[in-house]
Structure 1
């Protein structure tokens, strides 16, 4: 290799190195996808980084933000521009507002009055004049030519139902007295018009906190947390979280999610029902029923007792017999499941006597009266 060739090679290498060192390194942080609701707005959270940005700002007199739809090659196809803060262009939308401060690396933008035809990929472009920096961003910092990874707006007419989760899982039974936390979460694509959340069938001990939250990708959601202590009175209660999305033109849209609360608990409200009544005559067929609320209620056992007797009378939910004078007294029952037991209050069975015996006694009394009358007549 001649000396001239060596010098040329060194010059080329030096030029490449200089070009590499002076090349701008830039990237943008955008969510890959945002879901928007028709007749509403959508926020695209956006931040960017540029090498030596503060130094470039010192040489910048004006800074502009541009949004492109479908195509990212601004120099070849400017028909893709939907927003240009430099030329005050808004194309294809009723209104677009860049709420971020570009001098603070914030390019967050709100697109208003979303329609179905707005579903597309969008690219952000920054221009710092006079000719300090001009580039179109994407989310792939390792490959600036890769335009496949940028924000995409997906538009829908119907929002997804809210996500409803519980801790612990109330659909698999929670023990009475357990602290339960229900969290209802709904997407808030338009934080300026956030959805409202409401609950139905709220337990008496419930405490509810609802707030708008920012997610890791800078999009937003509305979260409502309801905490309460599980009560047997809430067993099999359907608790619903309802979300209402405001819309500019059409009616507000409401969606909901529901979970059934299942509570396990020992017998409650145990009591006795007597048929036909607790006041009966000898010879009446009477039925005692032990009633109780419990969960689980299958495989429950019932035991009957009479005051003054240590031995149980029966071990079944219903106890029946024909009344005699010996059946008078006080009775109670005990209900039992795997979580515990409860006894009913005592109830008194009163016996008024045999109706046939009463009739016979009346007849005897009438006969005696008649005999006395006859005796008096004869005596006279």
Structure 2
């Protein structure tokens, strides 16, 4: 700011400072700093993804977010009341969280016949993305596979059962609901066969 009359504020004078990443349910403070001298009773306003935020969470030049969720992630900017068009450059706040909504899909999705190739795929919602996936078959004490996909090249009745996956990132892990994978019949390989069991 310069003199009392014709006061000017350069957009480059305002900068948002905060942590680059914060874990879900933690608290974080964003600070709006200016390289020029501002009046003591300056009112700061905040924006997330260009939408103005409720100022009840603002203390002086700080925006305080308590127990953040993934919905708090986004580009944050600040401005001085009366100079809203001179807004600070955006700063992205990244909210990290453990795997959630873990689920299993089966391919092929229809009837599985003995001899088919079956692939189970595991998906999850997490930040950062889950990189460790483990596969389990109920009633077996150890994992039966790893990786985001688990394939059985020649499915037979011994493979039938309930399968689930577990997705993991650096913040934790979660398992999916079990899915039933059952052979529905036996492929008849010989054209001269009268009965396929």
Judge same fold: TM > 0.5, yes or no: yes
Aligned length: 191
Question: Does residue 46 of structure 2 align to residue 198 of structure 1?
Answer: yes
Q: Which residue of 2 aligns with 1:160?
A: 12
| Residue aligned with 2:144, SS | coil
| Residue aligned with 1:326, SS | helix
1:297 CA displacement: 3.9
Q: Which residue of 2 aligns with 1:337?
A: 169
8 Å CA contact 2:136–2:144 kept in 1: the answer is yes
**Counterparts of 1:342 and 1:360 in 2: how far apart (Å)?**
50
- CA gap of 1:266–1:159, structure 2 versus 1, over 3 A, is closer
Q: Which residue of 1 aligns with 2:159?
A: 327
Q: Which residue of 1 aligns with 2:123?
A: 291
Superposed CA deviations along residues 169-216 of structure 1, whole A, max 9, x for unmatched, are 2x1x33332111223356786899x776231159xxx984347x6xxx
Question: Does residue 31 of structure 2 align to residue 183 of structure 1?
Answer: yes
Alignment of 1:14-33 (within 5 A): none
Q: Which residue of 2 aligns with 1:310?
A: 141
Determine which structure has more spread, i.e. the larger CA radius of gyration: 1
Q: Which residue of 2 aligns with 1:94?
A: none
Kindly report the root-mean-square deviation, in angstroms, between the aligned alpha carbons of the 2 structures. Answer: 3.9
Alignment of 1:55-204 (within 5 A): 111=5, 114=6, 158-166=10-18, 169=19, 171=20, 173-185=21-33, 197-201=45-49
Q: Which residue of 1 aligns with 2:98?
A: 266
**Counterparts of 2:43 and 2:55 in 1: how far apart (Å)?**
20
8 Å CA contact 1:282–1:351 kept in 2: the answer is yes
1:331 CA displacement: 0.4
Structure 2: runs of 5+ lacking an equivalent:
none
Deviates more, 1:180-189 or 1:262-271: 180-189
Q: Which residue of 2 aligns with 1:253?
A: 85
1:334 CA displacement: 1.5
1:285 CA displacement: 1.4
- CA gap of 1:303–1:209, structure 2 versus 1, over 3 A, is closer
8 Å CA contact 1:188–1:195 kept in 2: the answer is no
Structure 1: runs of 5+ lacking an equivalent:
1-34, 37-41, 44-110, 115-152, 214-222, 365-380
TM-score (norm 1): 0.41
Name the one with the larger helix percent: 1
1:273 CA displacement: 2.0
Superposed CA deviations along residues 14-40 of structure 1, whole A, max 9, x for unmatched, are xxxxxxxxxxxxxxxxxxxxx24xxxx
Higher relative contact order (CA 8 A, sep 6+): 2
1:347 CA displacement: 0.8
Question: Does residue 85 of structure 2 align to residue 229 of structure 1?
Answer: no
**Counterparts of 1:253 and 1:244 in 2: how far apart (Å)?**
9
TM-score (norm 2): 0.72
| Residue aligned with 1:160, SS | helix
Q: Which residue of 2 aligns with 1:356?
A: 188
